[in-house]
Amino acid sequence: MSLIELVQHAQDKILFMAYSFTDDDLAQAILNRASEGVVVAGVLDKSQALSNKGGEYTHLLENGIDVLLDGNRHGMHHKVIIIDERIVVTGSYNFSNNAKTRNDENSLILHNQEIAQLYLEEFDRVWEIAED
């Protein structure tokens, strides 16, 4: 199952932490799930979100997604999506058009609630220090 398909099948919650997020298709899949009542929240790397051409930060905000900028003064390099508190997508894969079309990047899809809990704890930590 592709990343888009995993997002499209989310039932309750999608949480993400992203260094780079310029993938229009992924953003639209997330917006579609949010419009169906799925809770969505994310944290983006501040330097990337404010400088990437075609970045999704403003698009997500304008469409009601609860998205913050990281509070780590050295940068946040996560590439994680947590789906329904039981599926974790992680790896080197940035949520970007370059990752999708040009770069050699990898993703792990972990269907494990215990591992998801560890990532949820990290999401909470990152969220706590994030900026509006």
The CATH number linked to 75 is 3.30.870.10
Q: Show the tokens assigned to 79.
A: 């590439």
Domain that holds residue 51: 3-129
Phi and psi torsions of 61, nearest 5°: -60, -50
* Helix, strand, coil abundance in the chain, percent, nearest 5: 40, 25, 35
Residue range 59-65: mean pLDDT, rounded: 96
Q: Show the tokens assigned to 55.
A: 């970045």
Q: Show the tokens assigned to 13.
A: 């919650």
Determine if the pTM surpasses 0.85: yes
Q: How confident is the model at residue 6 (pLDDT cuts 50, 70, 90)?
A: very high
pLDDT in tens, 92-124: 888 877 787 887 888 999 999 999 999 999 999
| pLDDT number for residue 31 | 98
Q: Tell me if 119 sits within 8 A of 90, measured CB to CB.
A: yes
| pLDDT number for residue 27 | 97
Overall domain count for the chain: 1
The residues assigned a catalytic role are 77, 79, 84
